[in-house]
Amino acid sequence: MTTDADGDLTVALLDQLRAAAAAGRPLNLRGAGTKTGLGRQVAAGTAPLDLSGHSGIINYQPKELVVTARCGTTLAAIEAALAEHGQHLPCEPPRLGVGATLGGTVACGLSGPARPSGGAIRDLVLGARILTGRAEVLRFGGEVMKNVAGYDCSRLMVGAFGTLGVLLDISVKVLPSPAVSRTLVQDCGQPEALARMERWAAQPLPITASCWIDSGDGGRLWVRLAGAAQGVRAAAERIGGEPLADADAIGFWEDQVREQGHAFFQGDLPLWRCAVPAATPLLELPGPQLLEWGGAQRWLRSADAPAVIRALVARVGGHATLFRGGDRTGEVFQPLSAPLLALHRNLKRAFDPAGILNPGRLYQDL
């Protein structure tokens, strides 16, 4: 076990974890609580492990394009520090609530509208210091790409929902913010929107986000261009469409899409996130759909049976996640094949042999 350099907070977390392991008492990892509705419902009888106090930016080197922060550091604080130097988190991770933290974002594997151009949050993680279920503090990766060698265990933590370890500190890659950004809106139905996005994907266009929404009269397609002024201007002329004012564009991408404030995301119907090959034709599923990521991410509001939705999405080479609503005690993520489930169980035993970290949050038996 390595020595903790950050003092009393990590020592306190270690003590709590040791006590829980000795008593066989499962723990529910919690930061700001903005992601409690994601994943499966944690098994009953868990005790909270509060991580919100373990916060603060440890190291930020603008010239090196990397920032290291503790798990409880808010995305707002990190983004504000980056903005002072004209930089940003290129995947535009959604907050989904006030006080959203870096640890929760990484643990849930969340990426926003810019994921196709900026990469997923997993691509940005360079290193991490974690607390395992064995009460060991381990460090993986580093703060530059060349240090990411051997087993890249830091990225195993991305999307693991805290079932493998407590993320203490995380180093992530950042990028300069684009010089200019422009959003264009076009009227078209979903099949035509898919055809246009597939055609644009084969061209050298500075598209950083796309979104199609059924407007009730055929649908509308939003496309965001970003980069150097000359390149954005030339691409806008090539694509065409109605330009959106800067303030309206920011409100659309940040509030309505990234933070799911659009009317599509409201209501009681279960919200499904379907990840499919971008060129997949229209999914014949009951319920309204919203398309992102050039057609690779398709949101669905539907009360149809989970097995029906997952079977159709699997047939086109994708997977479906019950993102919000519905039965949170059942399987929320696409069921794993037997070999993959065995691999997950082996990883769980290696990092958390007593099974005390967020039991059941990812899959029922993990």
Note the pLDDT tens digit of each residue in 180-214. 999 999 999 999 999 999 999 999 999 999 999 98
pLDDT digits (tens, 9 = 90+) for 218-276: 899 999 999 999 999 999 999 999 999 999 999 999 999 999 999 999 999 999 999 99
The rounded distance, in Å, linking the Cα atoms of 272 and 326 is 9
| 331 pLDDT higher than 80 | yes
**Cβ count within 10 A of residue 127:** 22
pLDDT in tens, 304-318: 999 999 999 999 999
Res 2: pLDDT: 34
If pLDDT is split at 50, 70 and 90, which confidence band does 67 have?
Answer: very high
In degrees and rounded to multiples of 5, residue 250 shows phi and psi of -60, -45
Which pLDDT score is estimated for 22? 87
Instruction: Return the pLDDT at 85.
Output: 98
* The pLDDT value given to residue 45: 82
What is the structure's pLDDT at 5? 44
Per-residue pLDDT, 289: 95
Alpha-carbon distance of 202 to 224, in angstroms, equals: 16
Q: What is the mean pLDDT of residues 330-350?
A: 94
Helix, strand, or coil here: 170?
strand
Predicted confidence (pLDDT) at residue 3 exceeds the cutoff of 50: no
CA 299 to chain centre: 14
In this structure, the number of other CB atoms found within 10 A of the CB of residue 233 comes to 13
How much is the average pLDDT of 314-334? 95
Mean of the pLDDT values across residues 24-42?
92
CB atoms within 10 A of CB 339: 8
List Cα–Cα distances, 78 to 46, 170, 225, 276, in angstroms: 30, 12, 24, 31
| Confidence at residue 365, expressed as pLDDT on a 0 to 100 scale | 83
Please give the mean pLDDT across all residues of the chain.
92
Residues with Cβ within 8 Å of 246's Cβ and at least 6 positions away in sequence, in order, are: 181
Check residues 181 and 286 and name the one with the higher pLDDT.
181
> Tell me, what's the pLDDT at 146?
54
Span 97-116, pLDDT tens digits: 999 999 999 999 999 999 99
**Digit-coded pLDDT (tens) for 148-172:** 555 678 999 999 999 999 999 999 9
Are 303 and 269 in contact by the 8 Å Cβ rule? The answer is yes
Share of the chain above pLDDT 70, in %: 95
- Give the residue from 172, 160, 164, 158 showing the smallest Cα distance to 138: 164
State which amino acid sits at residue 79: E
What percent of the chain clears pLDDT 90, i.e. is strictly above it? 83
pLDDT at 115: 96
